[in-house]
Amino acid sequence: MNHASRWFAVAGVVLGASVSLAQSPPPGIPWANSSGNGAFFSWENGQNQNGLFGSPILSGGGTTFVFFPNGYTASASNGNTVTTSDRFDVDLHAFDGYKFTQIRVDTFGDYSITGAGSVEVNGSLDLNELGSPNRSTHNVLIADQPMPIVNTTGAIGGQFQSTSQRNLELIEGGMPFTGLHLAFSNNLVSISFGAGGTAVISKTVVGFPIAVTIIPEPGALALLGVGGMIMLRRRR
């Protein structure tokens, strides 16, 4: 298929604190596959600030980055507060005739609270255009339940999902996005309110704890031979 025949959307997965992309990303730990080619884009300079995200695999017919974090947990007990954070950065370049139209980040995890305490997930997806006119966006991470999750007696536990996304077509102004710097940050916060209490929150859901998916426009998946989007499911 001729690259000029289709425009494509990009959707992805990610967490964290606000970042300023007007500056270079902080020094980090390069992914094992810090550069490469996807279905309709290439990437380079993939790295994690603290190494908790790990190196992604490219799935979904070359349209989805999937991360399997190792040790991405915040655990607090006996009146303490613990925050665990990481950030990943990567540069995306659309092939000739393609553009990025949407970035979506989905994250999944587990939590438990014994006694009095709370847990919280927060984060952000920041996009900065590579080249002129150097447009940028900041998008917060939205959880599927009110945060923080608070418990005062007994024990509770469960799973969570959080999402951040940006439709770039809404801000194109006739100029497509063909190069992007993507930064995703994530904070996991656990607080124990007193002696004997424990609060734990982790990126440990079976399946896809973090997925950054590049989603083609309607009908394009069939042209790429993908056959369907990755389904991100939580074990219940």
Instruction: List pLDDT tens digits, range 124-167.
Output: 999 999 999 999 999 999 999 999 999 999 999 999 999 999 99
Residue range 4-17: mean pLDDT, rounded: 33
Cβ-Cβ contacts under 8 Å for 170 (sequence gap 6 or more): none
On the question of pLDDT at 123 being above 70, the answer is yes
d(CA 218, CA 3) in angstroms, rounded, equals 16
Sign, CA dihedral 89-16-205-11, equals negative
- pLDDT surpasses 50 at 233: no
Q: Is the pLDDT of residue 21 over 50?
A: no
120: confidence class by pLDDT, cuts 50, 70, 90: very high
pLDDT tens for 162-197 read 999 999 888 888 788 999 999 999 999 999 999 999
Give residues with Cβ within 8 angstroms of 12, minimum separation 6: 65, 103, 104, 105, 125, 165, 182, 184, 211, 212, 213, 214
The token pair that represents 125 in the structure block: 């997806």
**Both tokens of residue 76?**
């607090």
Query: In terms of Cα–Cα distance, which of 143, 144, 157 is closest to 198?
Result: 157
Residues 66, 14, 5: CA angle, nearest 5 degrees: 65
DSSP 117: E
pLDDT band at 24 (very low <50, low <70, confident <90, very high): low
